Amino acid sequence: MALLEVEDLATHFHTREGVVRAVDGVSFSIDKGETLGIVGESGSGKSVTCYSLMRLIPEPPGRIERGVARFDGQDLLQMGKSDLRHIRGDRISMIFQDPMTSLNPYLRISTQLIEAQQTHRDIDTKSALFKAIEALEEVGIPDAANRVKSYPHEFSGGMRQRVMIAMALINEPDLLIADEPTTALDVTVQAQILDIIKQRQERLGTAVILVTHDLGVVAGNCDKVNVMYAGQIVETGTASQVFYEAKHAYTRSLQKTIPSLQEKGQELYTIPGLPPDLSKPINGCAFHPRCPFPKTGHKGTERPSLKDVGDGHCFADCGFCDSSGSIEDVLAKGDLADTALPGEGAEA
């Protein structure tokens, strides 16, 4: 049985402008020791998915409308507040993008690391401190025995993120949710941090959900990948399926926009237009206004559901566009000019 099974999760925000369907029917599962990457542009619902699992969505305006998130047999979405508190920080923990806002600036690192343990375990302060120092050593903080007494502001950004990882892993959780853990860091430090997460994962058998917008980070660290667009998963599969045999027009367009994959002289592809407004109903495939492939089929009114194309590789096949050809051919015919993007002006 999978460690976490999410079925048809939907989280909507009820704002004055209308109902924003930030996450609208997301299903996936993750096994013990596995790393699942969630990629997508800002506003695609990747963070809201994670926050919903931890029940950190501000209510109101947010509301989890439907869905099941079975974690070890228990539904996280139906659980009472006190049961939830036992799970958060103990069996599921989370790392956020900005470590400065997630550490308490008034408390020493030692106090915060000891509190994290004593909330969930019957452990005396002395051994908790000992474990805290050990945890800091494991994430590569030099002179941990002295540094443990420091305040968060005395650490650099990379060191602070290490402290966050140490804190998140100190109770040896079954699942770690990392929401853009390295976006605010330098590339060299990013490589170190991802390395630490990987090492600890191998030792403890922790499952990791890694949310990022960087396809490179996903390629190097994830076993499975969910590509999200406009609140739904449009493609899912193993890393090599999604990178080498991408089926969905959005995944394939996204890959064409990355500078490191393109020749220097070549103009970068830009996906025309903007993601759809999630407060308005979406008819048919959400990506179709920006899709470069020729439209041959019937648009339909329902958003397409995921279809298995073999070995667990699924994508939302809309049947509207003919995406059988290679994207290079389609783009070569199309106009690559970056000016006068249709839709962009209309939206603003």
Partner 1 sequence: MSGSREDFLVLDDVKTHFDMGRDFFTRKSKGVVKAVDGVSLTIKEGETLGLVGESGCGKSTLSRTIMQLIRPTSGKIWLEGKELSAISDRDIRAVRKNFQMIFQDPYASLNPRMTVMDTLSEAIRTRHPDAKGDDLIKRITELLRKVGLNPAQMKRYPHEFSGGQRQRVAIARALAPEPKLIIADEPVSALDVSIQSQILNLLKRLKSEMGLTMIFISHDLSVVRYIADRIAVMYLGRITELGDAETIVDDPLHIYTKALTSAIPVPDPNAEQSRERVILQGDQPSPIDPPQGCNFWPRSPVEHDEHMKQTVPEFAEVKAGHWVSNCPHCVEAN
Scanning 70-78, 189-197, 298-306, 324-332 for contacts with partner 1 by CB under 8 A, the matching segment is: 189-197
Scanning 63-71, 190-198, 200-208, 296-304 for contacts with partner 1 by CB under 8 A, the matching segment is: 190-198
The least CB distance from residue 344 to partner 1, in Å, is: 7
Residue 153, interface with partner 1 (CB under 8 A)?
Answer: no
Residue with tokens 């407004």: 277
The least CB distance from residue 221 to partner 1, in Å, is: 8
Amino acid at 227: V
Amino acid at 126: K
Residue 145, interface with partner 1 (CB under 8 A)?
Answer: no
User: For partner 1, which residue of 104, 118, 203, 220 counts as binding (CB under 8 A)?
Assistant: 220
Residue 75, interface with partner 1 (CB under 8 A)?
Answer: no
Residue 41, interface with partner 1 (CB under 8 A)?
Answer: yes
The site that binds partner 1 (CB under 8 A) totals a number of residues, namely 52
Joined tokens for residue 134:
């050990």
User: For partner 1, which residue of 19, 219, 309, 331 counts as binding (CB under 8 A)?
Assistant: 219
Provide the pairing of β-strand 74-75 with 62-71: antiparallel
Joined tokens for residue 338:
């970056």
Closest CA to 180 of 202, 197, 167, 159: 197
Q: DSSP assignment of 151-187, as one string?
A: -GGGS-HHHHHHHHHHHHHTT--SEEEEESTTTTS-H
User: For partner 1, which residue of 36, 48, 54, 159 counts as binding (CB under 8 A)?
Assistant: 159
Residue 257, interface with partner 1 (CB under 8 A)?
Answer: yes
> Is residue 300 a contact partner of residue 320, using CB atoms and an 8 Å limit?
yes
Nearer to partner 1, 135 or 271 (CB): 271
Residue 216, interface with partner 1 (CB under 8 A)?
Answer: yes
Residue 269, interface with partner 1 (CB under 8 A)?
Answer: yes
Nearer to partner 1, 82 or 260 (CB): 260
Residue 217, interface with partner 1 (CB under 8 A)?
Answer: yes
User: For partner 1, which residue of 8, 17, 172, 344 counts as binding (CB under 8 A)?
Assistant: 344
Phi and psi at residue 249, to the nearest 5°: -60, -35
What distance in Å separates the CA atoms of residue 233 and residue 228, rounded to the nearest whole number?
4
Residue 198, interface with partner 1 (CB under 8 A)?
Answer: no
What distance in Å separates the CA atoms of residue 12 and residue 20, rounded to the nearest whole number?
6
Give the number of residues written for the chain. Answer: 348
Nearer to partner 1, 8 or 347 (CB): 347
What distance in Å separates the CA atoms of residue 209 and residue 222, rounded to the nearest whole number?
9
The side-by-side arrangement of strands in the sheet containing 74-75 is 18-30, 4-15, 62-71, 74-75
Residue 142, interface with partner 1 (CB under 8 A)?
Answer: yes
What distance in Å separates the CA atoms of residue 136 and residue 134, rounded to the nearest whole number?
5
Residue 98, interface with partner 1 (CB under 8 A)?
Answer: no
Count of other CB atoms within 10 angstroms of residue 198: 14
> Is residue 28 a contact partner of residue 236, using CB atoms and an 8 Å limit?
yes
Q: Which residues bind partner 1 (CB under 8 A)?
A: 41-42, 140, 142, 156-159, 186-192, 195, 213-220, 239-240, 243-244, 253-255, 257-262, 264, 267-271, 274, 338-341, 344-345, 347-348
